Chain A
Amino acid sequence: MKKWLVIVLIIAGIRCDGFSDQVFRTLFIGEGNACYRTFNKTHEFGCQANRENENGLIVRIDKQEDFKNLDSCWNSFYPKYSGKYWALLPVNLIRRDTISQLKSSKCLSGIVLYNSGESIHPGDESTAASHDAECPNAASDYYLQDKNEEYCERKINSRGAITRDGLMKIDWRIQMVFIDNSTDLEIIEKCYSMFNKPKEDGSSGYPYCGMSFRLANMAAGNSEICYRRGKNDAKLFQMNIDSGDAPQLCGAMHSDNIFAFPTPIPTSPTNETIITSKYMMVTARMDSFGMIPEISVGEVSVLTSIISVLAAARSMGTQIEKWQKASNTSNRNVFFAFFNGESLDYIGSGAAAYQMENGKFPQMIRSDRTHIHPIRPNELDYILEVQQIGVAKGRKYYVHVDGERYQQNKTQTDRVIDRIERGLRSHAFDLEKPSGSGDRVPPASWHSFAKADAHVQSVLLAPYGKEYEYQRVNSILDKNEWTEDEREKAIQEIEAVSTAILAAAADYVGVETDEVVAKVDKKLITTIFDCLITSNFWFDCDFMQKLDGGRYHKLFNSYGFNQKSTYISMESHTAFPTVLHWLTIFALGSDKETLNVKSEKSCSHLGQFQAFQMYTYTWQPNPYTGNFSCLKSAIVKKVMVSPAVDSQTPEEEMNTRYSTWMESVYIIESVNLYLMEDASFEYTMILIAVISALLSIFAVGRCSETTFIVDEGEPAAEGGEPL
């Protein structure tokens, strides 16, 4: 019995792969490295594999002139080939003048995008490559929904936008895959050079190097269809009997948002008294996107602004007693909000505004526990947002307000703006103040709260006036080569903006301004700048490695988890919210009250078994020393789903006041390279098959049973036992 078992195990252990290892050179493509389907309420965008766009011959488009070959379908180079092509294309060649050719080409299966290695500097104006629209978030604009403006009236991103509606709002017929791994790219290039590169006389011949790739989406149509089909009652017959779950076809884009309260106000134990405070919300967005959504670092679109807010938060955190005292006196508070999904019609801020209206922000309240007191929209005085820090032309910044609301509360707002100006001037930057009642707020989180409350004021601090100066907002190319001067200037700008935030916040709360202004930590700004922007990955620098302390694990095979990406995505498969959460805890957390806590377990117990749920306790290392301690902070890391596509808020279903962006669930396959042979031999083989069949019939037709049944005179054989 044991012997049989051994034999069975040996046989079971044998693996057969057929001939595929002799035919295909397979390159693994992780989740997020390819274009897939996304939806809004009315349309579907992105890419989908079909029989027409899976396979193709590899060609290169290295320069502008190569796009001419798209029109002729490379006929002069490959006259005997009549199929489609996969074009190897550097990302920086996706421009206004080339995008229409890519869209209209009938002979492309897809494009293989890669970083050309050509360095782009932050001030580079020759590369207009914003993958966002001319009017970002136009459909969710407060002025459009309030009927004060036509759709896309203010083309604020017209200098950088490649297309009017942005590259994420294109329904491509082709597929796209991004190759980030240099080894994989070399293999594709080698395959092209060996077989497809035309000879000196321009000729080429079989065999050619071909490529196949397939990304199949589960959903189609638009968000409305997708949302409807995704409901469990619509998928009754697909339900898993064991788990009770139905297979997911698509999902709302959602991820973690971070809200930090340096001076949190607790709910009253009996919930009898409603405390009314006033708030200034200091915010920066934490998401970006690109043509392939997840390939987006968002250096200027996201990171520089976040660093300036973090620096201000750290400064506040180091002298929190003063802020607490001033807040208690003035009943005014400052809190920090990092919203996710803002580049996709304000997912984070839209959900936050909705929760504020319903008394659920920042936390759901339980009557038996103490939480952070809910904030309502009418308690928000100011939303101080910073955008695109580090790329100012000269040393000038702009403050953007809503003209009408500004006029309503001019004195107080002027005071805030004045403090911002002082903060900037202390670092030799100028501020251009609002011009009058006709001012409009550019795309910013304020739009979500403006719809919820008629008085909330916007103070948007940015280095642009009527139009974005930076031409790669939300783009794969928002990834720069920083010279020492550019880096130094960007750090100065971050420092200046951080100081301005502190100055405005301090004045709002009532802290003595002069004390605060001098205390922005430039060294910290430089360190975080190098870690988040210059380094190849979030945890490549010493500071971040110490902050990590072995807590980060690359759990998923997704782009966002293994590369620098600030895309929101459908799942929490990006590392950035975790990175920012830890940095915020570092900035505002304190271990003064938990010095006796010496283990992770006892630290987590502090947060779990108390009725006082206002604070969180995190066992986190100090990024300078690497020593763990239990940090107490009032920081809420919260997944925000747009109410329009959230099954928990059916009353807001597909309400266009909120973002309706959804993503399809998809199956991604690997890239396969292979040799293509001349298909004309197929016809020869058919002829051979016919001849073989005729010959066989002829030859066998001449034989009969008697040909093989021979009487050899053997009695047993004659008796019926032939052997």
Chain B
Amino acid sequence: MGYLLTIACYIASFSPSIALFCSFIAHDPVRIILFFLGSFFWLVSLLFSSLAWLGLSTVLPDTFLLSLTVCIIAQELSRVAYFMLLKKAQRGLNKITRQGQISVAPGVSDLHNARHMLALVCGLGMGVISALFYTMNAFAIFSGPGTIGLPNALKTGEIDTNRAGKYLPLCYTLSAILLTLFHVTWTIMVWDSCHKIGRIPSAFVPGAAAVVSHLLVTFLSSLNSRGFHVLVFAVQFLILLICIAYCNVIMGGTISSFVNGIGQSITDAVTLKQVRTLIEERKLRTQRQSVPDEPMTERAGTSNTVNA
């Protein structure tokens, strides 16, 4: 183990987050603030969870499942709280971000119809911080000479291969990726419920789906310690796909459009569409460059001369 492994783990874990951040957040100061505010809300939820855990552990002998449930509920409540805060602040934000006038903060995107974008930004903030908290201790250990498992092995007399081993960095990396993307989808779902509550009777469905999937994913991950890594990751990935598809529906798409989109993406990836597009664009640029800018003037000049 070494620093190379730690760097590789961080790159692999946070590549999706970095890509999303660079594409949708980095250029907008307001979104950056909202991103970090999302992180803060998640940290507050973690603080309340740990206090609850501390309190419960003084009363009950085994508080694992109960504490986990409390933790998930705290996170979802923090999402609701964040929504409420933002809702109160949106009028002010709108003044800053309104286009077509002299903006207080130039360079910000306007908020017209941007509730899902806001959910993405804030959800990503929550996802990144939770993935960071989940992985950083482990990744710090991977940079050292040792890996997890010896104290327990010396106690029990045998090594627990489900909690240790050389694939441990991969497990942490996959979990971090899933966790980040899940938080984005859960925020979109919960905020959709918050937005529609009182307007339509089925408004609670996305929120309930977020809580249920959050619980399911979390309890599934507890099966990792029993050695079902592959199965757990497969199921979690499937749940993520379902969540993304559901978010697509929330954002006005359909299941078929989602499936088509994925199919198209795979086709484009296999046929290297982006590379082809790039080459074509370059060709066009080259062709444009080969046509001189001045001929019209020259022709005009020439015609003038001729005319003369």
Contact = CB atoms under 8 A, between A and B. Distances in A.
Given A191-B154, A688-B12, A692-B15, 20 more contacts: A23-B149, A24-B146, A195-B159, A207-B149, A685-B173, A688-B173, A693-B12, A693-B15, A698-B269, A698-B274, A700-B16, A709-B113, A709-B116, A710-B251, A711-B113, A720-B97, A720-B110, A722-B90, A723-B115, A723-B195
A681 B117 contact: no
Contact of A23 (B12, B15, B148, B159): B148
Interface string B100-132: 000000000111111111101000000000000
Interface string A679-723: 101101110111011011111111101011111101001111111
A22 B151 contact: yes
Contacts of B268: 702
Contacts of A23: 141, 144, 146-151
B252 A682 contact: no
Given A18-B141, A708-B120, A676 B97 contact: no
A260 to B, nearest CB: 52
B15 A18 contact: no
Contact of B11 (A21, A689, A695): A689
Interface stretch (B2-10, B210-218, B224-232): B2-10
Contacts of A688: 8, 12, 170, 173
Interface residues of A, number: 65
Interface string B158-195: 11000011111110010001000000000000010011
Main secondary structure of the interface of B (DSSP, over half): helix
For the complex of A and B, the 7 pairs showing the least CB-CB separation, nearest first, are A674-B146, A720-B94, A689-B11, A722-B115, A696-B19, A700-B19, A689-B12
Nearest to B109: A705
B111 to A, nearest CB: 5
A195 B144 CA distance: 19
21 contacts: A24-B151, A194-B159, A207-B164, A212-B145, A674-B147, A675-B149, A676-B146, A682-B5, A682-B8, A689-B15, A693-B19, A698-B265, A700-B20, A701-B23, A705-B117, A717-B112, A720-B98, A721-B90, A721-B94, A722-B111, A723-B90
Contact of B87 (A673, A690, A709, A723): A723
B24 A22 contact: no
A55 B54 contact: no
A341 interface: no
Nearest to B55: A10
A717 B115 contact: yes
B133 to A, nearest CB: 11
A674 B150 contact: yes
Contacts of A705: 24, 109, 117
B235 interface: no
B267 to A, nearest CB: 12
A722 to B, nearest CB: 4
Interface of A: 7, 10-11, 14, 18-25, 55, 187, 190-191, 194-195, 206-207, 209-210, 212, 672-679, 681-682, 684-686, 688-690, 692-693, 695-703, 705, 707-712, 714, 717-723
A717 B51 CA distance: 38
A685 B54 contact: no
- Interface range on chain B: under 10, 10 to 19, 20 to 34, or 35 or more? 35 or more
Interface in B64-100: 83, 86-87, 90-91, 94, 97-98
B15 A19 contact: no
B8 A685 contact: yes
The residue in A22, A672, A722 that gathers the most chain B C-beta atoms within 10 A of its C-beta is A722
B287 interface: no
Contacts of A20: 141
A699 to B, nearest CB: 7
Nearest to A7: B51
A19 B83 CA distance: 34
A692 B153 CA distance: 33
Contacts of B159: 194-195, 207, 675
Contacts of B165: 207, 677
A699 B19 contact: yes
The residue in A11, A24, A701 that gathers the most chain B C-beta atoms within 10 A of its C-beta is A24
A18 B148 CA distance: 11
Contacts of B97: 720
Contacts of B241: none
A692 B113 contact: no
A194 B114 contact: no
Contacts of A11: 47
Nearest to B23: A700
Contacts of A187: 154
B150 A18 contact: no
A675 B147 contact: yes
Contact of A675 (B137, B150, B157): B150
Contacts of A22: 148-149, 151-152
